[in-house]
């Protein structure tokens, strides 16, 4: 389904991507979902493809954050694989051993239909889609994640580490995102993603550099939490994202946030 055939939505999709696996995408998704709930907004979580059997799984964490009685793990994550591999490799490794192998888009089409139906059933105020791993990740059918991002749409929130190496990972990812037809809503620095951040001289300088891009504004830093969530930090992040989405929406004449140029908003 092309974007022109996509049913018109009056709510935004947000695609939470990361510079790597383990960078805190699920953590940030859950924070945004909880903050939305506190604002009486219905945030619908979605995980197009999940792999690994570590409990709780991402879908279970997202479901717990959403606290929606009729939202099951099957609803949130339609494609699940037990092996702790990229979803595409867990589904069929052979596709990646032959660069000439054709891509099978049926899994992606199935997920698109699933999400459209889920949205129709839940009538959300926004949809929070958690990507898999970093950006260039093998996805089912011998496909690669940027294609899924383009097809599912959504303004990208990029979760990054604060520590040494993050400028390279972040800039590479933003550069790759430029080749996808998506908008970047902003960057979140997850301070909980780096164990040794306090001993890392680069952290405060990285923060300044990560805040320097007008095309990918820093939405905020997300603190390392203890046993409990930190509502003030979650609310701060959500408000920064929400106001950015609202501005983008007012720019998009057809209400499709995906097509709004977020870089037009200051």
Ligand X SMILES: Nc1ncnc2c1ncn2[C@@H]1O[C@H](COP(=O)(O)OP(=O)(O)O)[C@@H](O)[C@H]1O
Binder among 20, 58, 150, 191 for Mg ion (CB under 5 A): 58
25 binds Mg ion (CB under 5 A): yes
Smallest distance, Å, CB 61 to ligand X? 7
- Among Mg ion, ligand X, none, residue 18 binds (CB under 5-8 Å by kind): ligand X
3-state SS class at 70 = coil
Task: Rank residues 235 and 249 by Cβ distance to ligand X and give the closer one.
Answer: 235
Q: Which stretch binds Mg ion (CB under 5 A): 56-64, 96-104, 235-243, 253-261?
A: 56-64
Smallest distance, Å, CB 26 to Mg ion? 3
Q: How many CB atoms lie within 10 A of CB 212?
A: 10
Catalytic residue among 25, 47, 258, 266: 47
CA 141 – CA 204 distance, rounded (Å): 41
Q: Which stretch binds Mg ion (CB under 5 A): 23-31, 80-88, 226-234, 245-253?
A: 23-31
- Among Mg ion, ligand X, none, residue 56 binds (CB under 5-8 Å by kind): none
Q: DSSP letter at 48? A: S
Binder among 26, 163, 221, 265 for Mg ion (CB under 5 A): 26
- Among Mg ion, ligand X, none, residue 78 binds (CB under 5-8 Å by kind): none
Which residue spans within 52-183 are E strands per DSSP? 79-81, 126-130, 138-139, 143-144, 155-160
Task: Rank residues 13 and 47 by Cβ distance to Mg ion and give the closer one.
Answer: 47
Task: Rank residues 49 and 257 by Cβ distance to Mg ion and give the closer one.
Answer: 49
- Is residue 191 within 8 A of residue 163, CB to CB? The reply is no
Smallest distance, Å, CB 98 to Mg ion? 29
- Among Mg ion, ligand X, none, residue 148 binds (CB under 5-8 Å by kind): none
Q: Residues in the site for ligand X, rule: CB under 6 A?
A: 18, 21-27, 190, 192-193, 222, 224-225
Strand 138-139 and strand 143-144: the pairing is antiparallel
Q: Is 25 a catalytic residue?
A: no
CA 65 – CA 51 distance, rounded (Å): 19
Smallest distance, Å, CB 97 to ligand X? 25
**DSSP string covering 157-216:** EEEE-SSTTHHHHHHHHHHHHHTSS--EEEEEEEGGG-TTGGG-THHHHHHHHHT--TTS
Smallest distance, Å, CB 159 to ligand X? 6
CA 10 – CA 23 distance, rounded (Å): 30
- Is residue 137 within 8 A of residue 86, CB to CB? The reply is yes
Q: Hey, which residues are catalytic here?
A: 47
């Amino acid at each position: 389904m092309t974007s022109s055939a996509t049913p018109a939505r009056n709510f935004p999709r947000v695609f939470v991507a990361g510079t790597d696996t383990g960078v805190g995408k699920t953590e940030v998704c859950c924070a945004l979902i909880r903050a939305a709930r506190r604002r009486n907004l219905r945030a619908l979580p979605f995980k197009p493809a999940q792999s690994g059997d570590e409990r709780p799984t991402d879908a279970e964490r997202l479901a717990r954050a959403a606290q929606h009685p009729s939202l099951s793990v099957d609803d949130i994550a339609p494609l699940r694989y037990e092996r702790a591999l990229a979803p595409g490799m867990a589904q069929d490794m052979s596709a990646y051993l032959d660069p000439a192998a054709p891509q099978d888009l049926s899994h992606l089409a199935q997920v698109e239909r699933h999400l459209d139906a889920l949205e129709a059933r839940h009538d959300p105020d926004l949809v929070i889609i958690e990507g898999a791993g970093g950006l260039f990740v093998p996805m089912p059918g011998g496909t690669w994640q940027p294609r899924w991002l383009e097809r599912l749409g959504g303004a990208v929130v990029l979760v990054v580490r604060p520590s040494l190496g993050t400028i390279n990972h972040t800039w590479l990812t933003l550069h790759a995102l430029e080749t996808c037809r998506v908008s970047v809503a902003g960057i979140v620095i997850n301070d909980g993603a780096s164990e040794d951040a306090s001993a890392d001289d680069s952290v405060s300088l990285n923060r300044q550099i990560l805040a320097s891009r007008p095309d990918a504004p820093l939405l905020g830093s997300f603190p390392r939490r203890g046993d409990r969530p930190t509502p003030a930090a979650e609310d701060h992040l959500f408000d920064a994202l929400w106001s950015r989405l609202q501005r983008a929406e007012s720019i998009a004449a057809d209400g499709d946030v995906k097509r709004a140029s977020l870089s037009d908003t200051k």
